[in-house]
Each structure stands twice: as C-alpha cells, then as structure tokens.
A = this chain, B = another copy of it.
Amino acid sequence: MASAKTKSTIQDVAQLAGVSKMTVSRVLNNDAKVSDKTREKVQKAAASLNYLPNISARRLASSKSYFIGLLYENPSEGYVSQFLLSALKSCRQRGYHLVVDECQGSEQEKLQITRDLVEQTRVDGVILLPPFCNNLQVLALLDELKVPYVRVSPDANLEVSPFVCMDDYQAAFDMTNHLIDQGHQQIGFIVGHQNLGASRLRYQGFLDAMRSAQLAVPPSFIEQGQFSFKSGLQAAENMLKQDLRPTAIFASNDDMAAAVVSVANSLSLPVPEKLSVVGFDDTPLATTIWPHLTTIRQPITEMAEQAIDLLTSGQLTLPPSQRLSDLRHVIEFQLMQRDSVKHL
C-alpha cells in the first residue's frame, strides 16, 4: 500500500512521472495532444499516488465552474428526491457539485431564479425536471444565456433541446401484455391527467396492446383520472360498481392504483384474488401498501446519470452540427412484478 498520509497534488504526480505539472494537467483533462507514452506514465503515477484533483483549485483557475444546476418546481413529486440523490452521486464522481433550486412562484420569479443560478453560481449546465422543463420562457432564457441544459421527461417541444426520458407508450403496452399473458381479457384502464403527454402515451400503449390481442375495450372500462388518489377512488367506484366488472385494472399511476385497491377492499373484492391491479411509476407507495403493486419502474437513477453525463462530457457545448447524438435519450424501464396480479 503506497498510502499517502497527506493528499497528493498535481506536483507530486508530475515529479513521480518526471514531467511538468502542465503535462499532468493535460492528461487529466485529456484535451491536448500528449504522446501516448507520457500519457501512460502520468496515468500510472496518478493511480499509484491515488491522486484526485482538487476541485476548488480547478474551479479557481479555470473558466469552468464545475457546478451543475438542478431546477424543479414541486419537491413533493416522488421522483424529485430520488433524482436528486442520484444526481448528487453522479456529480461527485465527476468532480462536479450540484446546486439545487426550487423554482416556484410567478413566471417572473421563476425566470429570476433561473437567471440567478446561471449568473451568480455560473453553472456549467442545467437540468430541468418535469413539469418545470415544459416552461418555454425558461428554455428561451437559458438559450439566451448560452448555458447548455437537459430536460427530463418533457411533454412537448422535443426538438428544442436534448432530453432524457423513458418510453411511456412501450411500458404501458408491455404492462397490458403482461396482464393478457396472465389470462386477463376484461381489463379496465384509468387514464392520467389530461394535460400531461405521458397520460396520452400510456393510454395509447394500453389501447394498442388490447387491439393487437383482439381484445375489446367497452367504454365502461375506461375512466378518466387526474393522477390523484382521490380521482382514483372515484374512477374505481365507477368501474367496479357496475354489473360487468373487469378482472384487472391498469391505473396510469401508483396513487390511483392504490385507490383502486382501497375501493376493491371495501367492496369485498380482495386484490389480487378477485381483482388484479397494476400501477405505473414505482413510487414508494407501491411497496408501502398491501399487496405490493405490480408496476412500471421509471429508471430515475439512470436518467439522472445520463443527464449529468451529457452536461459534463462537454458535448453539449459544441455547435449543434458537431454533436454526436440526437436529442432524445431514452432509458429502459422495468416491469416490476409483485403481488397485485393473479394468474387466471
């Protein structure tokens, strides 16, 4: 163990590798042309010293701030905290720090908070969480300020910026097929809030899967919800108090699915024995209630990583024509099979 009692510096690495600090710096930032031989020497030296660059020194000396901003609108959204935790971790691994701001209030205030984040903290890039990422004025401001940004699961205007998301349509399609595979043919669906693009996609995925399987969907098996537990309660009652009941209900999110379970219980329709229920999102609620919900896990950690990656790899600062990839970064979801579905 070459244990260094005190943290090693770029100078130590330079000495050990027999080069100048400058060369070490170049290798570390792998931006300049360094001969493969010296590059290797430096890397070996850095590794053996367990060298980690001092972020503060870097920040002070360079034009980059090594800060990434994260803007969200509503902290109570389930994914905010999970996203935050993952983003924090990714940033740290890359020698960046995350600066987090809540963006609430009037349109004016939102713009001001965004502007402050850029001008005062001088962030190198910004991540915008939904629904904030759909605010076009904010996007325009960021463009004007020339700061790269990545949106997470935007609803529309997909052509204006890079974004990360999951395939809501495919997930709903797969989930529906899962129910069909388990022998269900009468499947009810509770639609999400009408203003959100994700609602439409999930609904469409459900419909297409049913059609592919040649299964009919009577109008009474579709209810409009708002994503809230309460709206799920209402929708479930409407659907379950009729004579012809579905054997399974697919709710567009977990809160509504939990409401379905609750209504089913009060109607003496135990889940999953008498009624199968599935949700979407895999919020903590899905594994709080009993039975645990079969649902779709949003790949939030991976989305956070990807977003940080895009912002720290520097590819977004290139002129659009030179960028590697297209704007859309779709991350794989996961179907979480748990205890709320019965095999018929």
Chain A residues near B (Cβ < 8 Å): 7, 52, 54-57, 59-60, 75-76, 78, 80-82, 84-85, 88-89, 92, 97, 99-100, 102, 120, 229-230, 233, 255, 258-259, 261-263, 265-266, 268, 284-285, 288-290
A55-B56, A265-B266 are known contacts; what are 18 more A-B pairs with Cβ within 8 Å? A52-B120, A54-B60, A56-B56, A56-B59, A75-B82, A75-B85, A76-B284, A81-B82, A81-B84, A81-B85, A84-B84, A92-B99, A233-B290, A255-B288, A261-B262, A262-B265, A262-B289, A285-B288
Q: Is the CB of A88 within 8 A of B100?
A: yes
Pick the contact of A100: B55, B85, B262 (CB < 8 A): B85
Q: What are the 4 A-B residue pairs with the smallest beta carbon separation, nearest first?
A: A81-B81, A265-B266, A56-B56, A56-B59
Known: A56-B56, A59-B56, A284-B78. Is A230-B290 also a contact (CB below 8 A)? Answer: yes
A187 to B262, CA, bound (A): 24
Q: For the complex, what is the distance from the CA of A229 to the CA of B75, rounded to whole Å?
A: 24
| Bound form: Cα–Cα A268–B265 in Å | 10
Q: Which residues of B sit under 8 angstroms from A78, Cβ to Cβ? A: 284
Q: Give chain B residues whose Cβ lies under 8 Å from the Cβ of A100.
A: 85, 88-89
Rounded to whole angstroms, the CA-CA distance of A340 and B237 in the bound complex is 20
